[in-house]
Amino acid sequence: MSVQSLQPGWWKTPVHKEERIWITVALIWCILMTLIMPLWHVVGEHNPSAEYYRIAPEDFDKLTDEFIDKYKVGVEGDFAVVEPPAGADIFLRGSQWQWDPVLKLKVNETYRLHLSSIDVLHGMSIYPINLNFEAVPGYDYVLTITPTSTGTFNIICNEFCGISHHNMMGKIIVQ
Ligand SMILES: [Cu+2]
């Protein structure tokens, strides 16, 4: 319901200059944003890789355990701290409700990060840099990563995965 009912042929009334400017600005902005998406896909440096493989959750679990045994340098709380050499294949396992192991990486070195879940869907979210990737059970998602700054980066889960979802935290230490 409006205060005044529209007169027949209202769409034929001339458009004000300001309105025309705003419509033009909005249209140009829409076109620009639409073009940026495919452009970003080609030239953007933050595109996730399209490398992933089918893997049984128990196999990924085993590979992560082997990775931990090979490169373990300590313990932090309930988690193993792992320091793999530069260029190594590294594993991050999501499970209800933890990310493990704690990864100790070197700045400006490249690693192949294998990410998966051994139970339900989890969302790996790296803070404070806000990088987000899905950890999907049954898929080994390989991300080529090169940390460009030092510090401690917390991993939280951003996919509701059960009663203790809010406690699901992990850590990447870049030295
Ligand atoms: Cu979760």
CA 143 – CA 135 distance, rounded (Å)? 11
CA of 169 relative to ligand 1 center, distance in Å: 9
Burial classification of residue 109, based on how many CB atoms lie within 10 Å of its CB (0-12 exposed, 13-18 middle, 19 or more buried): middle
Summarised one tens digit per residue, pLDDT across range 89-99 is 999 999 999 99
Q: Which residues of 116-131 are buried (b: 16+ CB within 10 A; e: fewer)?
A: bbbebebbbbbeeeee
How far apart (Å, rounded) are the C-alpha atoms in residues 169 and 99? 6
- In angstroms, the CA 92 to CA 99 distance is 7
**19 alpha-carbon distance from chain centroid:** 40
131 Cα–ligand 1 center, Å: 15
What would the pLDDT profile of 118-166 be if each residue is shown by its tens digit?
999 999 999 998 889 999 999 999 999 999 999 999 999 999 999 999 9
Which token pair is 50? Answer: 């399209």
CA of 4 to the centre of ligand 1 (A): 52
Let me know if 102 is exposed, middle or buried by CB neighbors in 10 A (0-12, 13-18, 19+). buried
Res. 172: pLDDT tops 80: yes
Looking at residue 134, its pLDDT comes to 95
Report the separation in Å between the CA atom of 115 and the middle of ligand 1, taken as the mean of its atom positions: 14
- pLDDT tens digit sequence for 32-46: 999 998 888 888 766
Distance 85 CA to ligand 1 centre (A): 29
Instruction: Return d(Cα 44, Cα 74) in angstroms, integer.
Output: 37
pLDDT at position 1 over 60:
no
Percentage of the chain beyond pLDDT 90 is 78
Ligand 1 centroid to residue 26 C-alpha, Å: 38
Task: Output the pTM of the full model.
Answer: 0.78
Tell me the HSE value of 11 on the side-chain side, using a 13 A CA sphere.
0
Residue 55: pLDDT over 90:
yes
Ligand 1 centroid – CA 123 distance (Å): 6
Cα-to-centroid distance, 41 and ligand 1 (Å): 28
What spacing in Å lies between the alpha carbon of 27 and ligand 1's midpoint? 39
Residue 83 CA to ligand 1 center (angstroms) comes to 25
Residue 113, C-beta contacts closer than 8 angstroms, at least 6 positions apart: 90, 91, 92, 142, 143, 144, 145
Residue 46, pLDDT score: 65
133 CA from centroid of ligand 1 (Å): 12
Q: What is the mean pLDDT of the chain?
A: 93
